[in-house]
A and B are shown apart, each in its own frame.
Chain A
């Protein structure tokens, strides 16, 4: 399932809960002679991860911090374009910087370069770092864990909700950049990092692929934030901890003498997408990014899940 499809189905599902769940329930209730059977079935009936996930999204929608992150994802491209329009020249020192005034297609890549150090780790940590710890500080963990959902179901739903939010933030970020860039500078062919022209259709496709590649380290950061959220039980500690870790990795990456480990740092993976905008495409950094990101994400998520499954719920 591609990212946009995934999000759309989530949005549809979320919208569906706005209406009361009457039709299905009524159908069961009005069928004669099934009351006893329904009652027996009810006892053993588990909620689905899909419906818990839908409620996780609804909870996110009801919280201000969600919009803080999404707002930042929209605001940064707006500021960038406004500054560009006022200044007249693109930032020469970064890849694609020279081309931003020639085609809107060059705007998202430049934004991605700017946002990898602080912005995306922060946006992602805001929600993923809060999604479990928030239930701790509200005291609602005990509330949701004494219903019929198993702990792994709730964890999975929270994981999916954090990832969905990260995907949405990235789409908003790149989408706003592309839209404003296209409106201001038009949609013309993009010059690849190898200096060859890329026509608009292929450029859009490669841009989508670049976002997917960029998503890998973003989701790895979300996984780390989720782990910290589960372990620290404190939203601020999880958000700051995630940011600090991502900063430390950046610093390790620029210390001379540590170049050999640089390709395996999570921070480095935020640049892997650039391989897609070379001619021919350089898949090596993307393949490496896939397993390096998995190396960060999978142990984090495993530890988070095990912690969540076994932990004592004492608060609230």
Chain B
């Protein structure tokens, strides 16, 4: 039993389906997260990310399919399936009338074992040691988010499920939260990070599943996705020392489409190779490039195309 449990991947979901009346919130989702990865679960709001996470944690019952954490199904084994697993869905919630420390003491009591011994370290890690005796009702959103991570750390997890941990944080808070996730991952914790921000996933994750309307529409290495993005024609903005001459150069290049001229220079669509060639061609004509920038971050654009385009039949 023990051998099987350690060999099983941290997350293995097969054919997860959850329907709410007419709406299929999660539509046959397969997900495998291997140990040691930081896995991005990416999709716009309402794509069914949180519902998937709730099913993984055993909070809601799938209509079809099953989820296993380290080989154990929370529906069949109850809380035992969550051994070594921690995290939160949506904003972490605590008892507002208890202090941060009391809340963690309560969580530790529900964890059993030696969780209570980790309270001080957890408060320290998430930077709440100096506010531990304040009631949670006085905490800011960011502090509650951090307390959520602290509560997860009490379980000494091998797998951490985090649902949009940076949502609602200010830029500094976002930076700190990402830094914390990076640090935890470096300690060897497998992380499933749901997010609607491509940039966040790009920054933190090795592998990604992109979901849309409850379905996984891309699953794989982030590098492969980056490669796919770079191979695709995308929008660029070009400013030169001589936009008139640059226009002539551009209009003769076959790999370049949607050329247009605006107050702010030229815009066009092309893949990266073509853009590289263009820069050389401009240089040969003594036209200096002042700015040549993608109209949108490449992955970001791919993400929008994947999640906002016409629904595939």
Contacts and interface: CB of A to CB of B under 8 A. Distances in A.
Interface in A33-72: 38-39, 41-48, 51-52, 54-55, 58-59, 62-63
B275 interface: no
B117 interface: yes
Interface size of B as a range? 35 or more
Interface residues on A, range: 35 or more
A21 to B, nearest CB: 5
Contacts of A54: 109
A17 B109 CA distance: 10
Contact of B98 (A21, A45, A62, A145): A62
A17 B98 CA distance: 14
Nearest to A134: B95
A48 B109 CA distance: 9
Contacts of B113: 41-43, 45, 148
A142 B80 contact: no
Contacts of A314: 54, 59-60
Interface string A135-153: 0001110111111111100
Nearest to B152: A146
A147 B94 contact: no
Interface in B41-62: 54, 57-61
A55 B106 contact: yes
A48 B112 contact: yes
Nearest to B116: A21
Nearest to B55: A312
A8 interface: no
B78 interface: yes
B112 A46 contact: yes
A310 B94 contact: no
A47 B83 contact: no
Given A38-B114, A47-B112, A55-B109, A148 B95 contact: no
Nearest to A309: B78
Interface string B93-120: 1111110000001110111111011000
A210 B168 CA distance: 57
Interface string B135-161: 000000000000000010001100000
A54 B102 CA distance: 13
A39 B2 CA distance: 14
Given A28-B114, A142-B93, A151 B78 contact: yes
Nearest to B99: A62
Interface in A55-97: 55, 58-59, 62-63
B265 interface: no
B86 interface: yes
B110 A144 contact: yes
Nearest to B151: A143
B84 interface: yes
Given A313-B54, A313-B60, A138 B114 contact: no
A230 to B, nearest CB: 16
A266 B109 CA distance: 37
Contact of A312 (B61, B91, B93): B61
6 contacts: A25-B114, A29-B114, A52-B110, A142-B54, A143-B88, A147-B111
Interface of B: 54, 57-61, 78-80, 82-84, 86-98, 105-107, 109-114, 116-117, 151, 155-156
Interface of A: 17, 20-21, 25, 28-29, 38-39, 41-48, 51-52, 54-55, 58-59, 62-63, 138-140, 142-151, 310, 312-314, 316
Given A20-B116, A55-B106, A59-B98, 6 more contacts: A21-B116, A28-B114, A138-B93, A138-B95, A150-B78, A314-B54
